[in-house]
Structure 1
Amino acid sequence: MLTVRRPAGIDPEITLKVLQEKECHSIAKPLVVGSYIDLELTREQLGVSVRLNRTERIEDGMFTYGVIDVLDIGEAGKGVASTVSMMDAF
């Protein structure tokens, strides 16, 4: 688990850059739990070409290369955003 936007965590910039790599999707089924708005704003600022898929349930994730699934926790800046491996979820 990678914690995003917390004092001891990893910034969304790093999360997005790592999850755009094909290798990441070949070894895990990543799911970002966090603010979709925060991640979308960061994605636009970086010019990252991957698509964000906002989900409300884990089973709605696409878990495919080129798409980053985001289990949205709501408003920007609230809550804890993290990246978790869903390798065993299916």
Structure 2
Amino acid sequence: IIIGSTDDRAPAGFAPIAIGLGLTLIHLISIPVTNTSVNPARSLSQAVFAGGEYLTQVWLFWVAPIAGAVLAAAIYRVVGAKG
């Protein structure tokens, strides 16, 4: 959403609306299902306070967004290439 809405070809002023609605949709759909946290820092703080098994899982909250960003950028370079 961020890459597409901030592209030079996107309508001016559209980025805040698209990004905000996308983030809202992520929360509305996934929090009731998995208690999703889209902020790795928040995930880390909760894991530190909860301790135990939660600390062994917190790496995923850092690796997954980075991997997703790299994958999204690669796909956008191919699909959204100016041509």
TM range (shorter): under 0.3
Length-normalised TM-score, structure 2? 0.26
Higher helix share: 2
Bigger radius of gyration, 1 or 2?
2
Higher strand share: 1
